[in-house]
């Protein structure tokens, strides 16, 4: 019998005829002929297979700021790819057609072909996004290794619901990750609208990424009005990030828009996002952003030393780059923790005022 995809690596046998998948923190125990909750990892002849290995369901060239990643290789173009499937059950998912239907489909492509495509489109790296990339970690690793050989960076847009095994594999190729909390990780929200018991595995993943790797980390938090906008939860999350990842860790509060099963909810009020911003600053975070509100002043990066605008943005575009060649504030000289410089902005445009 021809088996779709390729044999997976992140698994181990357990009692009886079951295997335990170790790609994500659900640790699905899967029997012969069955698939895990993600819909793309299943057991055939006593072995775990990744059915979507080499099958890309979506691809697009994006600015890295769309991920959102603002402190790593700003202004670069990223070739974004996804498979089908997901390990979460988010009722607000804007990519539900590829993530929540649990289909196994997509264009057949090799890692080498993907890297050639990224370079052909003038991209500086590859992003694994639109659905949760840890469920296709073995495929991402093979693509990522080829990408590094070709001088490209690798970025995950992820829910962070990983395992120590997936952290180890990611460390072989990954350069940056934006870890996306929802509703600030408040337990009732994640249980009802995501289908996970709690967010403790995400905190553990972040600690391991910080302690065991050099992968750049940014945090996002989707603020869902009426059901996922608790300010106390946001304060707890911000305090944890500041204490465990450092005050220089970028945190993005993202505006929700109605989608999938939550079409009845409104867009997140901008004032709600601004209150979250204020709480994050109160807790000591130095680089806080409001996302999905083009033109908002908190899209930009401010120097924590003198409050000057060091990077002015509109949406995903960089309008001003007020940093020296060493990425120091051109007003006060404070070092800003941004990796890289925009390829089309080689020097300071003008001093911030």
Do the Cβ atoms of 212 and 191 come closer than 8 Å?
no
Percentage of residues in the chain having pLDDT higher than 90: 93
Residue-level pLDDT at 7: 97
CA distances from 196 to 36, 136, 185 (A): 14, 19, 10
Vertex 184 angle, CA 270 and 238, to 5°: 90
- Could you give the 3-state DSSP secondary structure of residue 337? coil
Do the Cβ atoms of 82 and 40 come closer than 8 Å?
no
Residue-level pLDDT at 343: 84
- Could you give the 3-state DSSP secondary structure of residue 85? coil
CA distances from 87 to 27, 149, 159, 213, 332 (A): 10, 30, 9, 24, 46
Specify the DSSP element, H or E, that contains 143.
helix 137-149
Q: How confident is the model at residue 330 (pLDDT cuts 50, 70, 90)?
A: very high
State how far the Cα of 167 lies from the Cα of 170, in Å rounded to an integer. 5
pTM of the predicted structure, to 2 decimals = 0.95
pLDDT at 28 over 90: yes
Residue predicted with more confidence, 251 or 344: 251
Residue-level pLDDT at 16: 78
Vertex 201 angle, CA 82 and 8, to 5°: 45
CB atoms inside a 10 Å sphere around CB 194: 21
Closest CA to 225 of 279, 264, 280: 264
Extents of the domains making up the chain: 6-50, 55-298, 300-353
Q: How confident is the model at residue 2 (pLDDT cuts 50, 70, 90)?
A: low
Closest CA to 102 of 39, 26, 11, 170: 39
Residue 88 CB partners (closer than 8 Å, separation 6+): 132, 159, 161, 194, 195, 196
Do the Cβ atoms of 209 and 241 come closer than 8 Å?
no
116-170 residue pLDDT tens = 999 999 999 999 999 999 999 999 999 999 999 999 999 999 999 999 999 999 9
55-298 domain in CATH 3.20.20.20?
no
State how far the Cα of 103 lies from the Cα of 100, in Å rounded to an integer. 8
250-261 residue pLDDT tens = 999 999 999 999
Closest CA to 79 of 129, 128, 118, 137: 118
Residue-level pLDDT at 345: 63
pLDDT at 346 over 50: no
182-234 residue pLDDT tens = 999 999 999 999 999 999 999 999 999 999 999 999 999 999 999 999 999 99
Percentage of residues in the chain having pLDDT higher than 70: 97
Q: What is the 8-class DSSP label of residue 23?
A: S
Q: Which residues pair with 312 in a beta bridge?
A: 320
Residue-level pLDDT at 101: 85
């Amino acid at each position: 019998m021809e088996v779709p995809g390729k044999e997976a690596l992140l698994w181990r046998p357990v009692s009886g005829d079951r295997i335990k998948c170790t790609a994500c923190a659900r640790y699905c125990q899967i029997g012969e002929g069955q698939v895990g909750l993600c819909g793309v990892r299943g057991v055939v002849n006593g072995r775990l297979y990744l059915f979507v290995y080499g099958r890309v369901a979506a691809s697009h060239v994006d600015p890295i700021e769309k991920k959102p990643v603002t402190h790593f290789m700003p202004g670069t173009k990223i070739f974004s790819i996804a498979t089908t499937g997901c390990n979460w059950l988010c009722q607000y998912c804007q990519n539900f057609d590829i993530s929540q239907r649990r289909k196994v489909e997509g264009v057949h492509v090799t890692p080498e072909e993907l890297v050639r495509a990224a370079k052909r489109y003038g991209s500086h790296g590859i992003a694994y996004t639109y659905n949760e990339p840890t469920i296709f970690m073995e495929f991402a690793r093979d693509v990522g290794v080829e990408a590094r050989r070709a001088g490209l960076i690798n970025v995950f847009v992820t829910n962070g619901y990983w395992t120590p095994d997936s952290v180890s594999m990611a460390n072989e190729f990954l350069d940056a990750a934006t870890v996306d909390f929802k509703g600030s990780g408040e337990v009732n929200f994640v249980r009802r609208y995501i289908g996970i018991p709690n967010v403790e595995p995400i905190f553990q993943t972040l600690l391991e990424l910080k302690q065991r790797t050099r992968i750049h980390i940014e945090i996002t938090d989707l603020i869902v009005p009426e059901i996922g906008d608790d300010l106390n939860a946001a304060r707890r999350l911000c305090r944890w990030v500041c204490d465990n990842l450092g005050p220089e860790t970028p945190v993005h509060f993202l505006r929700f828009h109605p989608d999938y099963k939550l079409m009845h909810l409104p867009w997140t009020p901008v004032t709600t996002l601004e209150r979250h911003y204020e709480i994050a600053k109160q807790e000591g975070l130095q680089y806080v952003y409001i996302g999905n509100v083009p033109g908002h002043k908190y899209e930009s990066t401010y120097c924590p030393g003198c409050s000057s605008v060091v990077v002015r943005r509109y949406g995903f575009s960089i309008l001003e780059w007020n940093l020296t060649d060493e990425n120091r504030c051109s007003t006060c000289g404070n070092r800003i923790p941004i990796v890289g410089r925009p390829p089309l902005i080689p020097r300071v445009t003008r001093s911030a005022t």
